[in-house]
Chain A
Amino acid sequence: MQPFTTLTGVAAPLDIMNVDTDMIIPKQYLKTIKRTGLGTGLFAEMRFNEDGTENPNFVLNKPAYRKAEILVAGDNFGCGSSREHAPWALLDLGIRCVISTSFADIFYNNCFKNGILPIKVSQSDLDKLMEDARRGANATMTVDLQSQEIHGPDGGIVKFDMDEFRKHLLLNGLDDIGLTMEKAPAIDSYESKAAKSRPWL
């Protein structure tokens, strides 16, 4: 996994509440057995017209935001299904950070497994960042995970919370399966205890 340290890039405003995983990646794109190439399906039903042409009004199709790496979105981003295809699709199109007031649990978890940083901020901070994002390509933001800060285009700073363990994994691009496998002795001893106390399992 690619580590996440700092990111400076264009932020796209997606001012919609409850952006669900069906919106992020519609199910016709879930038939793949790979993790890559899902960018073509990202926000497909908003990004493309029925005939397959681009919808010029959708934010990521506007010239200013075609290279956006940060998404600033409304409440409860990523609600709905557990599909990890959602962060895979974001990543495939180059988006490595999503900022919202809240995220659905499973989506939030899935981001960290893929080197995407989801950031929760207060409503007033979100309003401010949304305004910044509306200014387009010249208004880049810098996200610094180590110091847990977002630097806006005018030098304004928004602080954010992050749990230590997740931060550590993301900063170092660590594979958590590898880490857990180092705890095999603890898992073994749990299993032998459980085999006695709940042998029917």
Chain B
Amino acid sequence: MANSSAPRTLYDKIWDDHVVDTQPDGTCLLYIDRHLVHEVTSPQAFEGLRMTGRKVRAPEKTLAVVDHNVPTSDRSHGISDPEAATQVAALAENAREFGIEYFNELDKRQGVVHIIGPEQGFTLPGTTIVCGDSHTSTHGAFGALAHGIGTSEVEHVLATQTLIQSKAKNMRITVDGKLPAGVTAKDIILAIIGEIGTAGGTGHVMEYTGEAIRALSMEGRMTICNMSIEGGARAGLVAPDEKTYAYLMGRPKAPKGMAWDMAKAYWETLVTDEGAHFDREIRLDAANLPPIVTWGTSPEDVVSVAGVVPHADSGHTEQKKAAIARALDYMGLKGGEKMTDIKLDRVFIGSCTNGRIEDLRAVAKAVEGKKVASTVSAMIVPGSGLVKLQAEEEGLDTIFKAAGFDWREPGCSMCLAMNADKLAPGERCASTSNRNFEGRQGFKGRTHLVSPVMAAAAAIEGHFVDVRNWG
């Protein structure tokens, strides 16, 4: 394991500790410590193994769960969508055949793959983590090098426990200052993406530092790292600290006893050295951030909730003008409209971006004793069965139901609308998820990305409101 004396970034350190082999052109074989598998991007990979007679090299380093396709209604009587049922059954069968631990749709540990990894202590600092899902970047909040891969790469990792990679560039995003009340981790990351664009991080691994990042809970850091991919980055990273250790201590798959002490001593070395080189630096002041709403069909289409929808001619290039015009048309909006005048039909609270217990607590606090607007249908989908149980233990579900929210079973749900939870054409939704692409939440559905409190307030009022002076 390489060890040079030159100052290194956190990314450099994790990378160096995982290089198995380097080719003359710099392409590396990187060892993968943790592999998460779900039903949608894995069937063809297992099929590939079967066709070539290959085995899973390290089944104990792999964890499988169903999330993308499962209904969020009661599923104790099976899954009625035959195609979804086929994929779920295929994963169960593949996990059994190849000896991989698997959480099925009725297991209380089941949930969105990026929520259950940290929850189980499967996600650990300094590890390399992959999954056939782009939001694997979430796990970077623990100081793990985590990124999404395609199905052929899933097969490659299953067969060899390695991945062919060339090293990305280093980018540092420093968020100084203190967040104003009502402004959250979600607003920080949306602001960053607005600043650098959806291709701004392409080819880079982003490390987030600064006072505002340190002040965030693990949940908040996960929200930030989750959306690194929306900024084009291969992965996002936050150096581990006492909050990280406190979160992990006692989790089922986290090390215990002497192993914990040894691990912690190693984790404490996982910081960027003074003077380490970054190819790109971005600085942001948290104190100036407003709550943010997306107006268009790309996560970079951001605006302050106190602002207005942009005009097409505000684009700097002809291509950008065309993109704005296309997005306005799709979203059914006109340049100059006030964001707070935009009325909503649906509200979705959940996903691997904002489906954790802290998010649900924030929502409960905002909506307690209030009622969802009669024109809005609002759903809350906990990120995992354990998040659901925890919320119910705290009585959050009672608050939600009393306010008129639909309280569902865990899964990806309307984040990508592969199950029955989807927008009808033309419906407008405030969503705590991470993508507002055309059709993402349903054919011709219109998505506005926001934080959980912003979504909660919008559900109550029936339109966007500035949570800084609401409630």
Contacts and interface: CB of A to CB of B under 8 A. Distances in A.
A106 B21 CA distance: 22
A95 to B, nearest CB: 17
B424 to A, nearest CB: 11
Contacts of B160: 177, 180-181, 184, 187
A184 B443 CA distance: 46
Contacts of B203: 105
A198 to B, nearest CB: 6
Given A16-B323, A27-B417, A76-B202, A163 B150 contact: no
B86 A183 contact: no
Contacts of B44: 33-35, 84
B307 interface: no
B242 interface: no
Interface string A98-118: 000011111001100110000
Assign chain B's interface to a size class. Answer: 35 or more
Contact of B166 (A104, A163, A193): A163
Contacts of A105: 202-203, 232, 234
Contacts of B162: 180, 183, 187
A81 B133 contact: yes
B198 A79 contact: yes
Interface in A155-201: 163-165, 176-177, 180-181, 183-184, 186-187, 190-191, 193-194, 197-201
A198 B133 contact: no
A22 B202 contact: no
A124 interface: no
Interface string A14-58: 011110101100111011111100000000010000100000000
B152 A187 contact: no
A84 B27 CA distance: 22
B259 interface: yes
A138 interface: no
Contacts of A180: 29, 156, 159-160, 162, 164
A106 B150 contact: yes
Nearest to A201: B33
A181 B29 CA distance: 11
Given A31-B83, A187-B161, A193 B150 contact: no
Interface string B141-155: 000000111111101
A102 B202 contact: yes
Contacts of B425: 50
Nearest to A45: B439
B334 interface: no
Interface residues on A, range: 35 or more
A186 B33 CA distance: 16
Given A30-B418, A105-B203, A183 B29 contact: yes
Contact of B320 (A17, A177, A197, A199): A17
A75 interface: yes
A151 interface: no
A121 to B, nearest CB: 15
Interface in B1-55: 1, 20-21, 23, 25, 27, 29, 31, 33, 40-41, 43-44, 47-48, 52, 54
B319 A17 contact: yes
A34 B435 CA distance: 26
B31 A22 contact: no
A26 B136 CA distance: 20
Given A81-B133, A177-B155, 5 more contacts: A82-B150, A103-B202, A105-B234, A165-B164, A187-B162
Interface of B: 1, 20-21, 23, 25, 27, 29, 31, 33, 40-41, 43-44, 47-48, 52, 54, 57, 68-69, 81, 83-84, 86-87, 90, 124, 126-127, 132-134, 136, 147-153, 155-156, 159-162, 164, 166, 198-199, 202-203, 232, 234, 255, 259-260, 262-263, 266, 298, 319-320, 322-323, 326, 416-418, 425, 435, 437-440, 443-444
Interface of A: 15-18, 20, 22-23, 26-28, 30-35, 45, 50, 74-76, 79-84, 87, 102-106, 109-110, 113-114, 163-165, 176-177, 180-181, 183-184, 186-187, 190-191, 193-194, 197-201
12 contacts: A17-B320, A27-B418, A33-B87, A83-B150, A102-B199, A110-B152, A113-B152, A165-B164, A177-B155, A180-B156, A184-B160, A187-B160
